[in-house]
Structure 1
């Protein structure tokens, strides 16, 4: 029972972080009207959170390894709640941008502790189920940002408008802080991690040189400085990587634990998650454009269109953990196939009317629920407890980077086609690219399945010759 309560506390924070990542898409038109925010300010309100969230994630993981997952989690939730209140009371666009940057930093401290605590506290069997719930909560938070965000703005029960989407975090955050202080265990990592501040600064700068242009490029028409920044990220990240290797070789503790990349299941899991998140973030973004721009739905009705997808995602993600225990990675292959079928239907039916689009979305949601939660569990299954914080931070950074890249690249294709041939044609092109990314995920899972099968066959023979 206590394990269930601990998991509920951890996942509430993770849900909150994902919810706030997506809810701004729905709230953006209201913010524009209320605060007279221009296009650049809106881009920063949406993308600023993503940037500081991704750039600080690995350092957040290291903070947990150094000071304890419980302590950093509690302070992270408290800071996230405070930043949410600042968002909700912002008097102008500049204040809202600053508050969103703080909110992303707080999320970067809070979220790695969720995966780290699950990996360190739960034994293998319960851990797989807990990681399944983690994936389900993250996916639901993403979809709820669209559905509940539209509902909050439309109902406007307390007359708060878009501000209610941020202020709703106040009671939730306070409850999570109090329950975490009561329920979360102290985790002994067995190692006193040191902070590599130059490495963290180099990594943040390198990611910023990529993420900021990716976030702003579409809206600004890809001016020269966006390309210069992305080109400049290459030497910055290369020098940071070289320093990380040198520091690790000297016995130091770099901000990136490169030893994790020697764990095949972790490396393959990161690759699969990068492909999946690039598809998923772009899919949610382009669907919103199709429903609101192409089909002419308002924020509330567009949000409701995501509801069947969310229901199917919830059902299959909860079922998926039990199925994986019995049938292994074949379940992920089946789920990826269902997702591919849904994307294929969307590519064909994008212009056939909203009911057909919703049917395709529902099929995609069913497949995603079988895939996403299990991908995360597979990536962390062999990570040692003392690496749980940094492993989680690196994994989530890869997720955020992939999501930003997917939205930028596939979004650029969508806008280019939509300008010429309309939203339905643009969605067809986007769905085809998404389908290609899902095929990459299927190929990676098939590779891991073959490795797992070979290990299982070799295990009895190794046991037999052991003295």
Structure 2
């Protein structure tokens, strides 16, 4: 008999079940407010550089390949390190790893702002992505560990809202910072703005976040599993991030093929380590948790749509319609406001109405996307940004009602012992799916838009049709989750 079989998880005691419905400690909300600063900063920096690419090209004389590394390298390093970052929190404590990651993120942001050459900026951005991978998983781990399952919906509503606000604010604030040209710093301000925010947040984190639970540091870290997981993700993410710009050379096809056996070997090692009583990076129990994996698939489909939607919409507005960065950013404002409002309300609404709330969100997104496609098909190249705002607002409202409940449903199906692995897996799924969506839909958009993006409205109609299919699939998975809960 293996050690894993010798020590099965005991059934939940009545007191433990009751604890799941106990209101969280008021200090948990202060903890969440501090932790969400990391969520905002990481999401903000994922999108803000898109606005600064022209300035970087001019000031640092960056090649297209270097620009691609600055934009995609951050997301690649961020996604590849998330699972390991989550397990580091399990091993060394969420507060310690959060502050470590936040401090590193602040320092690497400063290095980005001080970069004097393309190579320096690329290296700093890769390091910044790895720092984000250390700090961000601790946010959801803290939610899982300190909020009873019945109350995680409100916490994850805030997480979803801040994540989305960071993405949209990256487009909006990035344009404003470039227009303001504070102290003549130009593009450097989009990185340097993180420094004071990071220093203040790190100070509050040391005061507010709870210390590690007694005995937590007795867990052994799994370096072989960490390397295997990171390498597997890197072999897939690197081609997705850089393939299109490089023209899809041979290595972009070889890497994903090598990722398959690498992933299988890593997963086999994780199972073996668990059977021996070890503490693997990826908790094997998560893969057998059907409700969790179902919701995880829904989140992946949503993020594929969401990342591609923001990317192609920015291309339509700035490349196809020729809008200035600030003008394009203003078009995002109504949907950003409605996204934020709906996200914050989604926790209470979901607690009262269950899966009906994200199902409504999916219906609103589909309606908004259909209206957007219809308007673009009719107006063609005569379309204007402001004319799209009603449809975009409807989409933003639906996004806010759909994304936070999805995250809440996933976390409600794991225990505190799996918090780090589940948080890292969930965050990795989000970033991986977003990268995949941007790459695939970006190729479709560029091909349909033609040289100079002259047919950008037609291209947006094409990708929007597939967005509708993705959201319909998310709605179908939600119905499966609802049936499982009813059963």
In the TM superposition, residue 219 of structure 1 has moved relative to its aligned partner by 1.6
Deviation string 1:28-78 (CA, Å, 9 cap, x unpaired) is 111111111101101110111111111111111111001110111111111
Task: Summarize deviations over 1:68-92 as a string: whole Å, max 9, x none.
Answer: 1011111111110001000000001
Is 1:343–1:360's contact at 8 Å kept on the other side of the alignment? yes
Rounded to whole Å, the distance in 1 between the matches of 2:303 and 2:219 is: 29
Whether 1:439 aligns to 2:465 is no
TM-score (norm 1): 0.94
Match of 2:34? 9
Whole-Å Cα distance in 2 between the matches of residues 295 and 337 of structure 1? 28
1:39 and 2:64 are equivalent in the alignment? yes
Match of 1:174, SS? helix
What is the count of residue pairs matched by the alignment?
454
Partner residue, 2:396: 365
After TM superposition, the structure 1 = structure 2 runs for residues 275-424 of structure 1, keeping only pairs within 5 Å, are: 275-350=301-376, 352=379, 353=383, 354-419=385-450, 422-424=455-457
Asked if 1:425 is matched to 2:450, the reply is: no
Which moves more between the two structures, 148-157 or 138-147?
A: 148-157
The CA distance in 2 between the partners of 1:371 and 1:341, in whole Å, is: 14
TM-score, structure 2 as length reference: 0.90
**Corresponding residue to 1:258 among 271, 280, 284:** 284
The Cα of 1:247 is off from its aligned counterpart by 2.3
Decide which of 138, 143, 146 is 1:113's aligned counterpart. 138
Deviation of 1:206 (Å): 1.7
Q: Distance in 2 between matches of 1:257 and 1:350?
A: 46
Q: 1:463 — aligned with what?
A: none
Aligned residues of 2:153 and 2:348 also touching (Cα < 8 A): no
Secondary structure class of the residue paired with 2:81 = helix
Q: CA deviation at 1:294?
A: 0.7
Distance 1:53 1:189, change over 3 A: farther
Deviates more, 1:391-400 or 1:120-129: 120-129
- Alignment-derived partner of residue 243 in structure 2: 217
CA RMSD of aligned residues (A): 1.5
162-171 vs 382-391, which deviates more? Answer: 382-391
Change (3 A) 1:348 1:189: farther
CA deviation vs aligned residue, 1:333-386 (integer Å, no higher than 9, x gap): 001000011111122222521233222211110000001111111100021112
- Distance, in Å, in 2 between the alignment partners of 1:428 and 1:220 is 27
Extract unaligned runs of 5+ from structure 2. 1-25
Specify the SS of the correspondent of 1:306: helix
| Structure 2 CA distance for aligned equivalents of residues 74 and 280 of structure 1 | 29
Contact 2:306 / 2:434 at 8 angstroms: preserved in 1? yes
Q: Residues 189 and 414 (structure 1 numbering): CA distance in 2 closer, same or farther, change over 3 Å?
A: farther
Gaps of 5+ in 1: 455-467
What is the distance in 2 between the residues matched to 1:453 and 1:101? 45
Deviations 1:155-194 (A, max 9, x none): 1232211110110011100111110111111242765432
Structure 1 residue ranges, 4+ long, deviating more than 4 angstroms after superposition: none
Q: 2:147 aligned with 1:122, yes or no? A: yes
On the 8 A contact 1:313/1:366 being kept in 2, the answer is yes
The Cα of 1:267 is off from its aligned counterpart by: 1.2
Q: State the 1:330 CA deviation.
A: 0.5
